[in-house]
Structure 1
Amino acid sequence: MKNIFKIAILSLGIVNIVSSCSNDFVDREFEQSVIQSDLKSLQEVQSFVRGAYASMRASTYYGRDFTAYGEVRSDEMFSNGRSGYFQTVRTYTMTSSDAYARDTYNQIYTMIAKTNIVIGTDVSKLNGTAQDLQKAEYYQGQAYALRAQGFFDLLRLYGQKYTGGTLGVVTPLKYDPKALKARSTITETEAQIEADFNKALSTMTSRSSFDTPSNKTELSIDALKVLMSRYYLYKGDYAKVRTLISEVYSKYNVVARDLYQPSFDYTLRGAAPNSIFELEVGTDSSLSTSSYNQVLSVNGYYNLVALASSYNLYATNDIRKSLISYLSAANGTKYYFLSAGSKGKYLNRTGADNIKMVRYEEALLNGAEAELQPGGDPAKALEYYNSIIKNRGLSEVSSVDLDMIKVERRKELLGEGFRQWDLLRWGNTSFKPAAVSANLLAFPIPRQETDIAGTPVVANPGYDN
């Protein structure tokens, strides 16, 4: 693999921080054939980490598309084809030249390239005080965490775990735009993800004096632990999930019923009591019509629509039901929207809402699921579960089982990009049309990648490259 730089110029140099209330970033471009020189200061290390966050918030990654992929192919939402969004994803008709497969692939590897520059920096040689060097190590830990998350996202989209194959994804561990690297196996990819997460945790913990969990727009140790729990749920390593969530438990609060909708809004960005990690957007770097809100909203493209079966899961007094609106088509069909008028999870039509990466409710649901597995504590699962539902207008229960947790994940996390990945890790592929080959559960490796001269990267079966 040539780190995608034959196609996308990685904006490097120094990722400058614009002096504004939204802490936006601007990238300076340079030629893809140039090897980046060593970083020289704490400020440069911080800038590259913030540049990685900027890459993550793009519309081709967490700003829209990656989140939508988890919903388009699921049993809770669908793409109605309006304005042409996600048609090839929804219908399993992607080719190796598909823009969704190509652009998300490029964007994730661009983010990883920025983290690799930070990871490859010899912190001991930076200019600055001893405290500066220690803080740079902390940010290096963040870079390991972001790289792990990028590899995990790539593995879920392009790896063959759910298709019966053995290949994972390319896992570049240093910045080298001229390198050619083959795909790792699934086992090797998972091992690298775990190694990166563990390195991140040990590094950030060793420099925990620089950890500021009150700053929700930078990855904290708590946020890292929840991301790790997300990965270990995918792996089925429930003991690790239990440990990680127990270390975060009670540090945050389930958002109260009346604050449920505002907790997603721009006006409460970073201030909601259930927020653990957000990608900062703001007005200066608004995603505008390229935002996730636009494909969800009846006031936008209203492309992603919840199924009636999702809407009907909610009790009448559940605050979450009141945030879903519906319109009736001429043929009597009802379309259910997560954003319409003054209701919905995503109301800011300018696309300026922060992107909610880690919410406390997800942490509790991860923990509850793990506690109901062999070796867990059902009483803890019940405590986690009740702390959510009592804040949604529902009565507490005296017992909980895995089926209840699965339904609650669907209700609490509707539209947030989790559903397809939950179904796949539970072994449920019923959302896939029977006539569609299991090979197509994995996205195609972009033709731009497999066409590079001398590349060892091989395509996924079922596609045209």
Structure 2
Amino acid sequence: MKKLNILSAVLFVAVAGGICTSCADKLDLSPIDYYGSGSYWKTEAHVIGYMDGIHKHLRDAAFQHTFLWGEARGGNLITTGTSSDGMGMLYGDIKLQNFDEAHTGVTGFGDVFGRLTNINLFIARVTDATYIDEAKKGYYLGQAYGLRAFYYFDLYRTYGGVPLRLTADVVEGVIDPNQLYLGRATPQEVMAQIKKDLNKSMECFGDNNSFDPNNRGNKKGYWSKAATECLMGEVYLWISKVTTGNDAADESNLATAKTHLLNVLNSYGLERMDNFENVFEAKNNKGNKEIIFAVRYAEGEATNSNNLFTYAMATGSTKDRYKKDGEKFLDALNIGNTGSQQLEYKIELYNSFDDKDTRKDATFIASYNKDAETGELSLYGTHVCKNIGYVNAQGARIYCGDYIIYRLPWVWLTLAEIENMQGGDVAAYINKVRQRAYGDNWDEETYGYKNADFTTNELAILHEKDKEFVQEGQRWWDLRRMTLTKGGKHLVFCKEGNIGTDQPVLKEETEAHKVLWPVDITLLGNDPLIYQTPGYDTYKQQPE
């Protein structure tokens, strides 16, 4: 991907017309650019540049999508206090499920509506373009409709009903802010639009199954037809198991989910990498054969937030502890002064890995205390070594590993979940993931999974994902969607879904409404048509 930071700056410099600035105190609807002079949207290069900007905006939201919305609430992280490195923890309210109008985790619907406005403008301009051939137009529109569905699915799972803004009117000369107010649609209406956009994305892509049809060397850093099919699998599995407001779960959606995920297996040339650690190797292995879609980071351009899971050399205590071989820890990950540990996974998660499972050491490096007299080691803390980029030619660690949204093992384990719902055998899908994890130690009789009853299968899938997808933004959604028995209680309300405690992540009797997030009081006060998420005891509830 080209230097998106530079590109974004160019786009903002190119602004040639005004935009309604009063919208800033409501939803963030600011577009990448207005291009009011009429000098833009004249060539394919303009289309490509704007789509690059849309992907840059996606990267800006990647930590929110992956960690804040997808993982922080999942029960696998230490919630508050200090980390093993001695630093104060971040996002305590989110991890503790402490939500009300004053504690909303994020504000303004996560500022997603500015990103949606950019996509809406792109769709409006490119749909009418006559300067680009139909095949290329279809490819770019396929990306746009897929990404709009992606954002709205995040909003749907997080808030339920949200405003449905599907046009570029905010940048089409509307200057009266009252015309821009838009209330929350029902969950059913939002899901209907997500399905419509997914179908439109598939229609626009047509038979274009390429990850890089224009030979731009993007290494799967741009949305593709395969990404749309993964999202369709995720969406239709969700609505087969989860009721959201007036949008009732319907098990018949499993067939659609399965069809698209099997297409992903059979139509895009994907293969499992032989070595788990190499999946995340950032210097030479981005966009490898098991990646489907990833948010791109690059040295000199943008870095991810995975340094927050490591340690601090200057002020932390980890350097003074020991590695499992008994040697001083020092700077075991070669991070210099770039790291901190303001987020830490639970010891119980680390201990759930079998020692022969290669994912254990490829995901975590543990720190130990050593008894001064006996030399005996005792586990003290864990630090993430997965996806922390590389040390560059100047000796600095660069956190430029991509945030992977979809990869092949995710498809296998999602199909396993579908198979479990349909009463089938899930073992083959789970064992495809385990076989790589155990590598040379693999012995199916010893480490292979054998199909069992629904509950045993469902928990086996969850725990396989726990090991495979640390930091990849899966666990909160897994707890929301997966159930202890078929059609029964979701794991978010079951002790079996939590880690290191006999309490559920949420208490169903008093906290069921917290599966959805509240809206912040500033937005409620500024926009007369936005009402609070149902269940929160605050002012401005939707009238009956």
Normalising by structure 2, what TM-score?
A: 0.70
Give the aligned partner of residue 164 of structure 1.
none
1:24 CA displacement: 5.8
Match of 2:162, SS state, is coil
Pair 1:350-2:401 in alignment? no
Match status 1:89 vs 2:82:
no
8 Å Cα contact 1:77/1:415 also seen in 2: no
Q: Please list every run of 5 or more consecutive structure 1 residues that lacks an aligned counterpart in the other structure.
A: 1-16, 160-167
In structure 2, the gaps of 5 or more residues are: 22-30, 82-86, 171-176, 241-252, 313-338, 371-377, 391-396, 483-489, 495-503, 540-544
Which residue of structure 2 aligns with residue 292 of structure 1?
305
Q: Which amino acid aligns with 2:409?
A: E
* Displacement of 1:196: 0.8
Aligned to 1:118: 122
Range moving further from structure 2, 428-437 or 141-150 = 428-437
Larger Rg: 2
The 1:386–1:209 alpha-carbon spacing in structure 2 relative to 1, beyond 3 Å, is closer
Judge which range, 438-447 or 311-320, deviates more. 438-447
Structure 1 match to 2:223: 219
Partner of 2:367: 327
- RMSD (Å), alpha carbons: 3.1
SS at match of 1:305: coil
The alpha carbon displacement at 1:43 in A equals 2.4
Q: Which amino acid aligns with 1:441?
A: V
CA contact (8 A) 1:80 1:303 kept: no
Distance 1:352 1:410 in 2: 23
User: Could you report, residue by residue, the CA deviation over 1:67-86 in whole angstroms, capped at 9, with x for unpaired residues?
Assistant: 24432212322344544521
Write out aligned runs for 1:26-175 (5 A). 26=9, 27-28=11-12, 31-33=18-20, 36=34, 37=36, 39-58=41-60, 61-63=61-63, 66-81=66-81, 82-96=87-101, 100-102=105-107, 105-106=110-111, 108-121=112-125, 123-126=127-130, 128-129=131-132, 131=133, 133-159=134-160, 168-175=161-168
Report how far residue 416 of structure 1 moved: 1.2
CA contact (8 A) 1:120 1:174 kept: yes
Alignment check: 8 A CA contact 1:145 1:200 kept: yes
Mapped to 1, the partners of 2:291 and 2:105 lie a distance apart of 29
Alignment-mate amino acid for residue 47 of structure 2: V
State whether structure 2 residue 205 is matched by structure 1 residue 204.
yes
Of 361, 364, 368, 2:409 maps to 361
Corresponding position of 1:162? none
Counterpart residue number, 1:399: 450
User: What is the SS of the residue equivalent to 2:367?
Assistant: strand
Q: Residues 173 and 206 from structure 1, CA distance in 2 versus in 1: closer, same or farther, beyond 3 angstroms?
A: farther
1:432 maps to 505
Which gives a bigger RCO, structure 1 or 2 (Cα 8 Å, sep 6+)? 1
Instruction: Give the equivalent residue in structure 1 for 2:384.
Output: 338
The answer to whether the 8 A contact 2:294-2:402 is kept is: yes
1:433: Cα distance to partner? 5.0
* CA offsets 1:401-447 (integer angstroms, 9 cap, x no match): 42322221222112211111111112122443549633333222133
In the alignment of these two chains, the number of paired residues is: 420
- In 2, distance between residues paired with 1:444 and 1:398? 40
Q: Taking structure 1 as the reference length, what is the TM-score of the superposition?
A: 0.80
Give distance in 1, aligned partners of 2:431 and 2:400.
32
Change in CA separation of 1:419 and 1:398 when aligned onto 2, cut-off 3 Å: closer
Q: Any conservation in 2 of the 1:72–1:78 contact (CA below 8 Å)?
A: no
The corresponding residue for 1:13 is none
